[in-house]
A and B are shown apart, each in its own frame.
Chain A
C-alpha cells in the first residue's frame, strides 16, 4: 500500500535554480522486508546490513559524522579542498553544542595567535551579520547561536557540502582496516553512506567505537565523566539594572567588559570567591534552591538578543553519567528541575531578573567529556605543563585544565601554550578515519584543556584539509604526515 509517488521534475529544476547541489536520490517509498525500513531508493545501489538490503544514500570522498564545531569545520575544509563531502547531523541545525546546546560564548584559548584561518573566518562572518564577537577586553567569542547556524549553512552551501540533517549514525561497516560505510537512521529509515575517508566528530567517539577503535572514558581515578550541564536562555532581563547591581552595588569585578558584553558568575568549588555566592547561599538557607543548584551559576548576555542571557548552568552532579544512556536520561529530568529552580530563584531575588522567564532550553545536554579514543599519539597532562610542541601540530591552546570537580590547573604563563599533534587525531586500527573535537586521543585531564570550541574548530579544520590531501595523494589518513603537507595548504604550521 506504500504508493510510489514520483517527484515532479520541477523539483530538480528548482534545486538547480536555487544553486543547491543536485539531489542524490529521490524517495521511492520503498519499504523493505518485514523488519527493516530503507531510507529511499538509491542510484548508488544497496548494501547488505544485518541480513537486509538497505540503500546507499551517498557514496562520497569524505563523510563527516556530527555537525558540531569540529565536524562542521572538517566538512567545509574537506569540500573546499576538492573532496565530495557529506555531513551527517542528528538535529536540524549545525553548530552542535554552540547552537543546540546553548554553550555560549566560545572560551578563550589564552594562547597567542591561536586562531586558525577557519576560526578567523567564522568571526569575520559574524561581523558581516552584525554580531561583533570581540568584547574589547577578553578573547572570548561572543556570538549569536541563531546567526552562527545560519553562517554554517551558508559556508556549507558555498563549499558544496551535502548536509544530511535529522540523521543519526547507528553503526559502521568495517572491512579489514578500512571503514567502508556508516549506517544511518533517517526519517525514512536505515541507509548507508559510503566514503573513502570518515571523520568522527560525534563528540562521543561513536563512529570510532563502533569501528573497533580502543577508547577511554571518565577520570582514571574516580570513573566519573566530567559533569553534564543543561543550559538554557532567559529573556526579559533588564541588563542595565543587573549591571548596576552586580558591578556597581556589589562591586564584583569578575566581568572585565561592559554591557552589551556582560557576564555574572559564581562557582563555590573554585578558590576564587565571587560576590554572588552570598545570594545563592541565602537561597540554600531559605530552602528555595539546593546546594547543587547553588554550586555553579553563570550568565552571559547574548549579542543581538537584547535582554536575553545564556545561562551556563545547571551543572548536573557527577552522580549522573555522560556515558550511560539510562543515567544520562535521568540527568535530563533532574537537570530540568534544577534549571526551573535556579530560574525561579533568580527571578525572585536578583535585581534585573524581576520580569525574566526561561526563553529557551538546550536541545542537547552539555557533555564536556564522554569517550575519548586511544589514537596514535596520546596527549597527557604533562603536555600542558611542559608546553609540548609537535612538528605535526594542527593547532595551539593554553586554556587551563578545567576538570570540573576533579582538577583545575593554574593558567600557563602569559604567552605560553601547547600544541595538538595530528597523531592524536588518527588511529592504528582504522586507516581511513580521522577523529576531531573533544573525543580525540588524550587523557581525561588533558582533554579538560583541549575540549573548548575554538580548539575543536581548529582540529576539525585540519582534519578536513588532511582528509582531502590524503585522498589526492593516495595516502591513508592515518599515514599522513601533517608536517609534509605544504605549509601554504595547512591551517597551522608549528614554528
Chain B
C-alpha cells in the first residue's frame, strides 16, 4: 500500500537556490517498492541502501567530531557528519556542559578554536572573560552559549560543505581487508549505509571502533568504575547579583576572589548581567551539609555542586551537577545508565529545590532546561598505536607528531584515585598523532575522549578544547592522507608541511 511519492522537483531546485550541498542518494525511497526499514541483516550491511558516499565519514557531532568534519572539508575532502541528535556540539549543546575548561597552558588554542571563538564573539556574547589569574589561565576557557554554538556549528559546516546527517544513530560497521568500508546508521526511514574512504570515530564511546573490532578499555584499572556521569541542567529566573552577595557577604566564601570579584562588581555597577560562579567547597561546606541535615538533600546530592552564570542568557545559570554516584551507576552498562537518568533527575529536583529555598537570588528560579544527553566523562577508550599514560602528563612529554598540547590536571572525580600533582605553570604535555590511530584499521581515526590512553591520562585530555584540537588534526590528516595516498594509520603528522598542520611541536 506504500505509495512511492517522488520528491517534488522544487526541493532539489530549492537546495541549490539556498546554496546547500546537493541532496545525496535517497534511502531506497525513490526505488519503487523498496524501503530501507525492513532489513534483517543490518549487522552485515548486506542489502542495505547506501544513503551517502563521501571521502570522509565522521561519526558523532560533538566537540571533536565537528572539528574533524569541518577541518577535513576545509582541506577539500567530501565529508559526511553523522549526528544522533539534531544539533552539533554534543555535550556542549545537548549536554549543557558549560563552560570549556582551561588547558592551563598558553599556545594550546589551535586555529580551529581561534576561529570558533571569533565566530562566537560575533553572536553577541564574548566567549572570553578577558582575565588571567594564578588559577585561571592558558587556552580553552571559552564560554560558549549552547544555543549560539549549535547555530555557529551549522554555519561552519555549511560554509565548508559538510553534509550533516542528523537524527542518525550508528548501528554497525562493515570492514574489508583491514579497512572500514561503510558504517550502518539507523535513520528515521530505516537502516542505511554511509560509505567512505576514511572514518573518524567521534562517538565519545568508541562505538565505531568497537563495531570495527578495535580493542578497547573502560573504567579505572584499579576499581573497574568509569568516571561518574552528570545530568546537567540550567536554571532560569536567577538574580545572579543577589546570589553573589549571599556567597560573599553572608557565607564569607572566597571561592570567587580577586579579578573574578571585580568582574561581578563592575557588571553590577554597569547594570549588566554578571559572570559569577559558585561551588561547594571547604569554605561553604556547612551550608550545603545543612541541607542534608534538614533532609532537603542527600549526601550523594552534595558530592559535587557547581553553577556558572551564562553570558548571553542573563538570569540563567548552568549547573555542573548532579553527579550520579559512580559506585552505583555505570557509563558502560545500558541498563545501569538508564537507571542513572531517572536517579539523576530526582537529584536535580532536590538540588533545584534546595537552591530556591536557601540561596537568596534563587527565590523565583526554576529549571528551565535539562540536558538531552548524559554528561559522560569517560566510558570506553581505544587501545591505539600510542597509549597515553599518567607518566606523559607527569613528565610533561613532548612528541614530534604532537597534534596539540594541554596541562589540564588529571581530574578524576574520585577522592581515592585523584592523587596526581598538577603540572607547574608553563609545563605541558602533548598528544601524539599515534594516539588517534589503531593497528587494526588502516583508515580509522579516533578523536575526543575515547582516544588511546589510560584511565588517568584520559582524565586530563578529556576536556573540550583538547577534544576540538584532536578533531581538527584528525580532519586535516584524513584529507592529507587521501590526497597523498597514505594509509591513515601510517601518516606521520610531523611530515605534513607545517603550514598545513594545526599544531607543530616545538
Q: Indicate if A403 sits at the interface (CB-CB under 8 A).
A: no
* Min C-beta distance of A135 to chain B, whole Å: 19
Report whether B215 and A36 are in contact in the complex, using a CB–CB cutoff of 8 Å: no
Give, as a whole number of angstroms, the nearest-CB distance from B2 to chain A.
6
- Are B373 and A92 within 8 A (Cβ)? yes
Chain B binding surface, main DSSP class: loop
- Tell me, in angstroms, the Cα distance from A52 to B234 when the chains sit together: 43
A176 within 8 A of B: no
Residues of A within 8 A of B494 (CB): none
With known contacts A233-B368, A304-B366, A325-B192, A333–B158 Cβ distance under 8 A: yes
B11 contacts A320, CB within 8 Å? yes
A177 at the A/B interface (Cβ < 8 Å)?
Answer: no
**A329 pairs with B5, CB closer than 8 A:** no
B14 contacts chain A at the CB level, 8 A cutoff: yes
| 0/1 interface trace, chain B 2-31, chain A, CB 8 Å (1 if under) | 110111101100110010100110110100
| B136 touches A (CB below 8 Å) | no
Interface contact A325-B210, CB-CB below 8 Å: no
What's the Cα separation between A360 and B370 when bound, in Å?
9
A168 at the interface (CB under 8 A from B): yes
Q: With A166-B374, A360-B147 as known contacts, state yes or no: A27 contacts B336, CB within 8 Å.
A: yes
Look across to chain A and name the residue whose beta carbon is closest to the beta carbon of B337: A187
CB distance from A117 to the nearest CB of B (A): 24
User: A39 touching B327 by the CB < 8 A rule?
Assistant: no
Interface residues of B in 135-150 (CB under 8 A from A): 147, 150
A409 to chain B, nearest CB (A): 23
Q: Is there contact, CB below 8 Å, between A93 and B370?
A: yes
Could you say which of A54, A171, A329 has the most chain B C-beta atoms within 10 Å of its C-beta? A329
B residues less than 8 Å from A39 (CB atoms):
334
Residues in A308-355 with C-beta less than 8 Å from chain B: 308, 319-330, 332-334, 336-337, 340, 355
For residue B237, give the distance in angstroms from its CB to the closest CB of chain A: 6
Residues of A within 8 A of B217 (CB): 1-3
Contact between chains at B37 and A185 (CB < 8 Å): no
Q: How far is the CA of A189 from the CA of B212 in the complex (A)?
A: 12
A336 to B154, CA, bound (A): 8
* Residue in A26, A149, A190, A327 whose CB lies within 8 Å of B333: A26
Note all chain A residues with C-beta closer than 8 A to B84.
168
Q: Is the CB of A357 within 8 A of B40?
A: no
**Among B207, B213, B328, B373, which residue has its beta carbon within 8 angstroms of that of A14?**
B328
Q: Which residues of B contact A363 (CB under 8 A)?
A: 85-87, 94, 372
| A90, chain B: closest CB distance, angstroms | 8
Interface size on A, residues (CB 8 A): 120
Whole-angstrom distance between the alpha carbons of A361 and B145 in the complex? Answer: 12
CA distance in complex: A220, B19 (Å):
30
Q: Find chain A residues with CB under 8 A from B236 CB.
A: 235, 305-308, 359
A476 within 8 Å of B (CB atoms) = no
Q: Which of B3, B27, B43, B329 has the most CB of A within 10 A?
A: B43
What CA separation (Å) do A3 and B380 show in the bound complex?
11
The answer to the question of B364 belonging to the interface, with a C-beta cut-off of 8 Å to chain A, is yes
Verify if B114 is at the interface (C-beta below 8 Å from A): no
Instruction: Determine how close the nearest CB of chain B comes to the CB of A292; give it in whole angstroms.
Output: 11
Q: In chain B between 191 and 224, which residues have their CB closer than 8 angstroms to a CB of chain A? A: 191-192, 205, 207, 210-213, 215-219, 221, 224
A91-B372, A189-B207 are known contacts; what are 18 more A-B pairs with Cβ within 8 Å? Answer: A14-B328, A15-B339, A18-B343, A27-B336, A35-B43, A36-B211, A57-B334, A92-B374, A168-B84, A171-B40, A190-B171, A223-B5, A233-B368, A328-B188, A329-B167, A332-B167, A333-B20, A361-B87
| Residues in B lying within 8 Å of A, measured CB to CB | 1-3, 5-8, 10-11, 14-15, 18, 20, 23-24, 26-27, 29, 35, 37-44, 51-52, 84-87, 94, 147, 150-151, 154, 157-158, 163-175, 186-192, 205, 207, 210-213, 215-219, 221, 224-225, 231, 234, 236-237, 312-316, 327-339, 341-343, 345-346, 349, 364, 366-374, 379, 383
